[in-house]
Amino acid sequence: MDKIISEEGVNVTKIATREAYGRALVELGRQDERIVVLDADLSKSTMTAFFAAEFPERFFNMGIAEQSLMGTAAGLALSGKIPFASTFAVFATGRAYEPVRNAIAYPRVNVKIAATHAGLTVGEDGASHQAVEDIALMRAIPNMTVVVPADASETRQAVQAIAAYDGPVYLRLGRPAVPRIYDESYSFHLGKAHQLRPGRDAAIIACGYMVNEALQAADELLAEGISAMVLNMSTIKPLDREAVLAAAATGVVVTAEEHSIIGGLGSAVAELLATTRPTPMAMVGISDSFGESGKPAELMQKYNLTAEAIKAAVKRLKSI
């Protein structure tokens, strides 16, 4: 496995959201005895291993059996525990889709599905392990809340927030270390977008890995005289309608996500705008294809998940 684990307390600029998740779980476990964690043989990768080391009696490795992972998490939640069930996003939402739907979401059971290795930034493992449709799958299930944090600080807070919330949540986390966007003064609110840049000419609504690309695009656009708002839409469902409508007031909306353009953040924004405030839009995302093996940066370049692509989309819309 990759070696990007930071030393706790050391101020590193890039931390993976999965690592922040693993550390946040330990913090949470110390605060609340009801927290239990389940994994499916990937605890060193999902970083639930930190929790397992400190709270072995509250950690359950279910083996390579993701359906059992979700069903067991449901049973624990029905008995008053707050389970975090972790595996890779492709297995959490694909292999275990139906138990997630019927054993967790339909009965509105208090399970937190924290899935790591989402999107193309899985890298070398290739398409079988790169979930590009997980947001779409989870977003389509009634009762499900969908959260995609952008960096370590936001992940830490999101973990606390979803533990405090009573209901099923899908937390989407990434493999690679990502740049710090927020310091500890940031305050995450479930269901609320966060405006990172004001702007009057266009709005970029991004989530996860793409938030940093959006910031870079906005900086470059500003240098060219285009003032672009940047929204971090870390809760994709329920969508912050007010924030999206405010973004649409700029006249142009570009969404950016490390996910298929079918069913993800872009779709969520388009569904709202098309029915309430039709606005010229572009979606930066994976255009209906699987990924492949490669270095994360190479893949993001090849599949146009870049600041450059966001910038081009804004300029294209502005020139219409």
Q: Which residues make up the interface to another protein (CB under 8 A)?
A: 36, 57-58, 60, 62-63, 65, 67-68, 70-81, 83, 98-99, 102-103, 106-108
Residues 6 or more apart whose Cβ sits within 8 Å of residue 182: 150, 151, 153, 154
Contacts of residue 47, defined as CB under 8 A and 6 or more positions apart, other chains included, come to 5, 18, 19, 21, 22, 23, 116
Min separation Cβ 167 and another protein, Å: 12
We find the least distance from the C-beta atom of residue 234 to another protein, in angstroms, to be 28
Instruction: State how beta strands 235-237 and 228-232 pair.
Output: unpaired
| CB closer to another protein, 36 vs 309 | 36
Least CB distance from residue 239 to another protein, whole Å?
A: 24
Query: Which residue in 7, 8, 54, 66 is the catalytic one?
Result: 66
Choose between 100 and 217: whose C-beta lies nearer to another protein.
100
Q: Which residues contact 242 (CB under 8 A, 6 or more apart)?
A: none
Q: Which helix (H) or strand (E) holds 220?
A: helix 210-223
Q: Residue type at 283? A: M
- Which of 262, 253, 211, 261 shows the shortest CA–CA distance to 233? 211
Nearest to another protein of 32, 288 (CB atom): 32
What is the amino acid identity at position 227?
S
CB of 280 vs another protein, minimal distance in Å: 42
For another protein, give the closer residue by CB, 73 or 252: 73
**240 exposure class (CB count in 10 Å sphere: 0-12, 13-18, 19+):** buried
Looking at the Cβ atoms of 76 and 158, the one nearer to another protein is 76
242 carries an active-site annotation: no
Q: How far is the CB of 26 from another protein (least distance, A)?
A: 18
Read off the DSSP letter of residue 224. T
Q: Is residue 28 within 8 Å of residue 187, measured between CB atoms?
A: no
Catalytic machinery residues: 66
